[in-house]
Amino acid sequence: MKTLQTILIALVAIEHIYILYIEIFLWTTPKGMKTFGLKSKTFAEETKTLAANQGLYNGFLAAGLFWSLYTKDVSVSLFFIICVCVAALYGAYSTKSKRILIVQGTPAFIALAVLLINRFYM
């Protein structure tokens, strides 16, 4: 794999490990509530199981990206980067928040562009 795409894939994977950590372990803390714009502790407590489930899915995305780096399989990288891009698009749409698109989507879309350039033009 090319160096830049490896770095970008690793960064997206690390970001998703961080999201997993916040959603599973920090959801009801001030840090978690601020990160996700939660207005009340009660709401955070009521939704912590849902957030933990979301965190688990972010962990699966990270695991797939790390696996693609381990196997050096660009097809696997493309699959999981596209999954992250779709998650960012849907997250931004469903929450009416451009922040998700910027924070989660931008690194993934850059990684996707580099992967496609390397795959088809290099």
pLDDT in tens, 53-107: 999 999 999 999 999 999 999 999 999 999 999 999 999 999 888 999 999 999 9
Secondary structure (3-state) at 47? helix
Residues above pLDDT 90, as percent of the chain:
91
Cβ atoms of 57 and 23 closer than 8 Å: no
Alpha-carbon distance of 69 to 4, in angstroms, equals: 12
Domain ranges of the chain: 3-121
CA distance 66 to 15: 12
Contact 12, 111 (CB under 8 A): yes
